[in-house]
């Protein structure tokens, strides 16, 4: 018998050889085996964790690449939008200048139309006086004719 077996025999005798003693003796005897199994389980867990992290990392890298691509596309869209905004601002400024020029032209034309309207009103008044003037000329011509007729009468 070896020293370990003697120790086991003594411990078994002291504990009375009952169920608790057997459990303790088995635990002590299987200590190396249990430790090896624990190390094996820990190594398997580490392998599973490593695989899981590798998969997660690959998924995250893929997601990062996709998001980087989206960011670049959005930056391009933003540059295009900013260029469009700048172009529209320039066009708007040009159109405002045109509107100001047209407004000045409209003012000039409005003044010219008002001046013409005033002249037309004056001419309409003068045209309205023409029939009265024609009647007056006719009366004066009749008087002149009657005066001329009186002076032609005695000489005949």
DSSP 106: H
| Whether the predicted pLDDT of 151 surpasses 60 | no
Q: How far apart are CA 14 and CA 145, in angstroms?
A: 178
**What percent of the residues of the chain are helix, what percent strand, and what percent coil, each to the nearest 5?**
95, 0, 5
What's the pLDDT tens digit per position in 74-97? 999 999 999 999 999 999 999 999
For residues 114-143, give the mean pLDDT: 93
Backbone angles phi, psi at 18, to 5 degrees: -80, -170
The pLDDT of residue 32: 80
**Cβ pair 21, 12 in contact under 8 A:** yes
CA-CA distance, 114 to 108, in Å (whole number)? 10
Q: What is the pLDDT, as a whole number, of residue 148? A: 86
Q: What is the mean pLDDT of the chain?
A: 85
At residue 150 the predicted structure's pLDDT band, cuts being 50, 70 and 90, is low
pLDDT given for residue 34 in this prediction = 79
State the pLDDT at residue 15. 55
The percent of residues in the chain predicted with pLDDT above 90, rounded, is: 68
Using the Cα atoms of residue 92, residue 98, residue 104 and residue 109 in order, give the sign of their dihedral.
negative
Tell me the three state secondary structure of residue 16.
coil
Q: What's the average model confidence in pLDDT over 42-63?
A: 93
Q: What's the chain's length in residues?
A: 156
Q: Where are the domains of the chain?
A: 3-151
Instruction: Give residues with Cβ within 8 angstroms of 1, minimum separation 6.
Output: 9
Across 90-113, average pLDDT: 95
Please report where in the chains the tokens 């002249």 appear, as a residue: 119
- CA–CA separation, 135 vs 51, rounded Å? 121
pTM check: above 0.85: no
Torsion of CA 7, 13, 19, 22, to 10 degrees: 20
Neighbouring CB atoms inside 10 A of 43's CB total: 10
Among 20-29, 49-58, 76-85, the minimum mean pLDDT is found in 20-29
């Amino acid at each position: 018998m070896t020293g370990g077996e003697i120790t086991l025999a003594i411990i078994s005798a002291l504990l009375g050889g009952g169920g608790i003693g057997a459990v303790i003796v088995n635990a002590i005897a299987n200590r190396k085996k249990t430790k090896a199994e624990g190390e094996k389980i820990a190594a398997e867990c580490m392998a599973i964790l490593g695989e899981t992290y590798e998969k997660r990392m690959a998924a995250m890298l893929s997601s990062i690449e996709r998001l980087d691509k989206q960011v670049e596309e959005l930056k391009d869209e933003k540059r295009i939008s900013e260029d469009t905004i700048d172009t529209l601002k320039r066009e708007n400024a040009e159109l405002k200048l045109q509107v100001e020029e047209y407004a000045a032209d409209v003012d000039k034309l409005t003044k010219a139309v008002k001046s013409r309207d005033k002249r037309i009103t004056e001419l309409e008044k003068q045209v309205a006086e023409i029939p009265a003037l024609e009647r007056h000329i006719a009366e004066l011509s009749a008087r002149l004719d009657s005066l001329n007729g009186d002076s032609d009468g005695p000489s005949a």
